[in-house]
Structure 1
Amino acid sequence: MDTRQDELRRDLDATLQARKELGKEYEDELVDSFMKRLDARLNARVERSVAERMDDYESPSRQRSHSRRSGSGKRSSTGLAVTSLALGIPLTAIAGSPENGGFAGLVVCWAGIVGVNLAAALGELRNRRTPAERSPRSDWD
């Protein structure tokens, strides 16, 4: 058994010993306390596992660029979306005016904005590693 299971066994033994000493009237509180500790351990293990798997999704080029900048890759895609929408407001006003094309100008303007965001999203998808490249991990690690 590893140390985590030994710790869990000691906690369970302590809970059972406390139940013997305190009696049946404290059984619910003791079980609740043990379950809260067990839940906290499971949550920590799940969070650690999710963090490891998220690290696996980062491509080597994103890891290098991530070390050079202070933000994450998600921030750059969010920044592009926000910038596109912010620039979309004046571009909509300009392209939608009757002298600049009206509705057709709006369609061309927003098709360009959507195209830029779609190209950026597809570029990020292409940089992700495929599931076959990731090393298999056990859910029990």
Structure 2
Amino acid sequence: MSQQDDLGHGDIEAALAARRELGARYDAELVDGFADRIERAVERRAAERGELQQRRTAGTEGGRIRQFVLGVISVGVGVPITIVPMVATDNGLPAVVVAWLGIAAVNAAHASTINGPQRRD
């Protein structure tokens, strides 16, 4: 942001001082100049918000893809984890339950980092 586009108290005071010096016949030019600066500042802020929204959308979409891939891999890993204890032992159900709870916990932790609280700027 340049010093010229920075709209503040000093700008308003300067415009009022210029009006006092120049008189009422230059009001339109002073108002137009000030309005142009306000318009540029609004456009710049709108562009910044648009860029921020694009970054957020891109980040969310990438997170969803990663979450989907993690889910597919979890199921792929979970199938052999389920088969081995059930075949190798007489009562493999507790091992299977613990394994799937671990897989679910990993997926939930990953999802919470993606879908966690959003910062508002």
TM-score, scaled to structure 2 = 0.46
TM-score (norm 1): 0.40
**Larger Cα-atom Rg:** 2
